[in-house]
Structure 1
Amino acid sequence: MGFQAGAALADAPDALAQEFVQFCVDAGVLKFGEFKTKAGRLSPYFFNAGLFDDGAKLGRLAQFYAKALVASGLEFDMIFGPAYKGIPLGAALAVELARLGRNVPFAYNRKEAKDHGEGGILVGAPLQGRVLIVDDVMSAGTAARESIALIRAAGAVPHAMAIALDRQEKATEAGADGAVRDVDHSAVQYVRQQLGLHVCAIATLADLLQYLTMHTGGALDAHRDRVLAYRQRYGVT
């Protein structure tokens, strides 16, 4: 039996996003400063999902995923958590949905195939129907492409992705000469437009900027200016 989102929650999506950003700041998952990204950019903020590192934080994170999915109206039949961070995220979401009365199958992959026991690279429920991929953020869409290939090879349909934060910034691609260049789309836009998947994000960079604008005073003012400048340089529409 698949999962179908019900009526929208009382909280508006923006309110949910603001609550999520506040939660991430309080939990130390969202930090401000100067951080080097995979693309080599110096980002004024860093989202580290590895710091959802206890039961209370992970449980609340799963609630945010579930609320965002319900509000989005997405329908899906099962959950897939790509190794490594997607595994606990997908499992926690499956538990939360079951608590809400929506019990859906869950599967994940190994980085390397197992040659004993049950063997193979996939663990959990058989991949079938419309699959929701759960991850933290998308930087280049590489993990999404790998998950899509696994799901299709199993005969299922990669249908949607749920992520915690959409950074809304330009992706990078290597040209024929090997040089890495900025492109005009983000990883999320690529997954939506080129790979044909729906993407549900709990919050976006725009929501983070709104949070910084609403919480003025002290160090946050400087952080807001730096985040805004970063978006003006690397952001997408």
Structure 2
Amino acid sequence: MSDYKKEFIDFLVKSEALKFGEFTLKSGRKSPYFFSTGNFNTGASIYKLGYFYASKVAEEKIDFDVIFGPAYKGIPLAVSTAIALAKDFNRDKSYLFDRKEVKDYADKSAFVGYEPKEKEKVLLIDDVMTTGKTKEEAIEKIKAQFPKVVFSCLLIAFNRQEVDGEGNNAIEEFEQKFSIPVKAIVTVKEVIDYLHNQEIEGRVYLDNKTKSRLEDYLKKYGVS
């Protein structure tokens, strides 16, 4: 496992963006862990999150011209990734995000930021992939405004490696439908492998009991 992935997992648990316990997800599913980027609400933490996205971009050698983050949660992800790429990887790239509500005065565009030109490549960034619906909506919205762009990749922070309520692999279906590869900074299985009985600043976040609960959960809901 790459060092930056280990650093990212440490960062997630120490900031409580990744927590273990018993949680009810939006789908109604009972999960032994919970992940959210909402805890990254300071300048230092959101910059560091952007650094990990940028590290994955560099590792995968993703070719793109502009980063798109869907409103609202994706906006700071796109901006912080663009900053980290420029500062830490010497890649100064543009960013773009959409408006949920289009203004009826002045600039009435549905988008804010760089406007991609014909054949330019768009890197989509988000936190997780659940059903893929929000990503599909974003793609349709971008295509309506910029019909000649190309989508290079969808980059998410965390891959839960689960099926949806109908037993489908949302990531696999998205890749097949749009021919856009999906990459994640880390997967839940990488988290389990790295964190199991790993002491971080005097604390073990994932002991044998928690590991067993996670494995049972993935046997029930995990992708094959």
Judge same fold: TM > 0.5, yes or no: yes
Deviations 1:153-202 (A, max 9, x none): 21222221111001100023xxxxxxxxx2231x2222222221112210
CA contact (8 A) 2:53 2:157 kept: yes
Letter in 2 for 1:103: D
2:186, 2:217 → 1: CA distance?
Answer: 17
Could you say which residue in structure 1 is the equivalent of 2:164? 171
Aligned positions of 1:56-95 closer than 5 A: 56-95=44-83
**Bigger shift: residues 191-200 or 77-86:** 191-200
**Unpaired stretches in structure 1, ≥5 consecutive residues:** 1-11, 173-181
CA contact (8 A) 2:70 2:126 kept: yes
**Unpaired stretches in structure 2, ≥5 consecutive residues:** none
Given the alignment of the two structures, is residue 123 of structure 1 paired with residue 116 of structure 2, yes or no? no
2:193, 2:176 → 1: CA distance?
Answer: 26
More strand by share: 1
1:18, 1:231 → 2: CA distance?
Answer: 21
Number of residue equivalences: 215
Q: Could you list the structure 1 runs, at least 4 aligned residues long, displaced by more than 4 angstroms after superposition.
A: 216-219
1:40, 1:214 → 2: CA distance?
Answer: 29
CA contact (8 A) 1:192 1:198 kept: yes
Tell me: CA distance 1:219–1:209, structure 2 relative to 1, closer, same or farther (3 Å). Answer: closer
Given the alignment of the two structures, is residue 107 of structure 1 paired with residue 96 of structure 2, yes or no? yes
Given the alignment of the two structures, is residue 184 of structure 1 paired with residue 168 of structure 2, yes or no? yes
1:218 Cα offset (Å): 8.0
Instruction: Give % identity.
Output: 37
TM-score normalised by structure 2 residue count: 0.90
Given the alignment of the two structures, is residue 225 of structure 1 paired with residue 218 of structure 2, yes or no? no
Higher RCO (Cα < 8 Å, 6 or more apart): 1
CA contact (8 A) 2:132 2:171 kept: yes
2:167, 2:74 → 1: CA distance?
Answer: 26
CA RMSD of aligned residues (A): 1.7
TM-score normalised by structure 1 residue count: 0.85
